[in-house]
Structure 1
Amino acid sequence: MDGKEWSTWSEGAAFGLENGMAVIPYALLKHYRKLGLSGSEAMLLIHLLSFRQVEGIEFPSLEELQTVTGRSISVIAGELQKLMKEGFISIDGDNDELRDIHYERYNFTGLYGKLGTYLAVLRQESAGDQTSRSGGTPDLRAAAHHSGAAAPAGGYGTSAPPVQAREAEQGRSLFSIFEKEFGRPLSPMECETISGWVDQDRYPEELILLALKESVFAGKLHFRYIDRILLEWARNRVKNAQDVKTYSQKFRSGGR
């Protein structure tokens, strides 16, 4: 390498270092597959950590994540949903009373807890305190049990089992439909709301879409209104399209 090439290389290296450096847990890079993460999901976690450490952005938008990953917003939203559902990340909300601003940030406690538990099992096995059924690989099911998380079913590979795959596909479908109706990408908080309807409240996809339709017809297209519709239906045991039709007719006739 001659003097000119060395100068060019050093200038480029200096420019790169000036843009900041992120500290990424090596255990995540080395063991993400054993935690049931795909390469793209692990990279998404790395980007979230990097946004916080280098740019001071604790809650990057889906558009910002799309810029750095080069992937579609619906795919990113689906992966965020999975990471939240499986306890790798969560979202904390807080208020800045001085500026009267509500803001959110990603919480990585779940990720660190899973990594810590996995490494503890790895250390025990290396010391001969535990024997794995797979002949040397830490028993991730035991680690998940101790950390309060569910281990991936059907092995430790990166491909999701059929049930999880169907749930992920359902989530992406709902995200896409909501984005089309709202005419814009959904925020991470809105994605989490949809995930909560599916995973926690156990609303059928059909019912969620009917509530969305009701909000469009009412001219009140916002998540709080849709949530109120779903809650009202749940209280009145409305579970499918036929129940919605019957309930609506009864409501309009004043026979509640």
Structure 2
Amino acid sequence: MQKRDRLRIWTEQGNVTISQLFFSYYKMIDVKDEEAIILLHLIAYGEAGNHFPTPQNLVDKTYFDENKVVSILQRLLQKGFVQIEQQIDEQGVRNEYYDFQCLWNLLLDYAEHEQNKEEDQQVKVEEGNIYKLFEQEFGRLLSPMEYETIGMWFDQDQHSPSLIRLALKEAVLAQKLSLRYIDRILFEWKKKNIKTVEAAEKESSNFRQQISVPKQVEQISNSTKVSFYNWLEERE
């Protein structure tokens, strides 16, 4: 992913607005409050079409004097939160502008880190619930070896909690409540590159349909035999 696309993708996906991103994480990247004020005014000027406001422009918008504004701008440049770039317009005139890409990348790094941490915590909660669910279905506490087996499904086989939950459900329906049987289900799904609950449910449905057809044929055959036998008895 191009770094310049990150902010656009995050905002388009609805993960965060630009203001939420800034106010949530600016302290974490060591932006001081007075620096934040100047940054926000620089961004606002840019959105209004003035991409290189003067110190006096910023003085007019704040309670800072010009020396203070210049000092803050210098710190922002030294810290790398903003850069001064140049571009040539259609008339060939070279214009300077403030670029905030490094600032957004730093903020997005923290936002993604926080999001990943929350997702990891959620996975841990779901994994813990899986162990409890197995104990409920088995009607007893799991043995250390059983804990290890389930842990391997998570860590080595990279099965999701939702997929393991579905495999347990399949074992319950089949009345074959054993880790070996569940492991076989998960093995078959992995062999067929099945990674989602939807795909696994479709596979299970197809499997049940395949085994139900021979049973139906057998039941019809048996029913025919019984009826034929009864009919003969009545004639005698």
TM-score range, shorter chain: 0.3 to 0.5
The structure with the greater share of residues assigned to helix is 2
TM-score (norm 2): 0.41
Greater Rg, structure 1 or structure 2?
Answer: 2
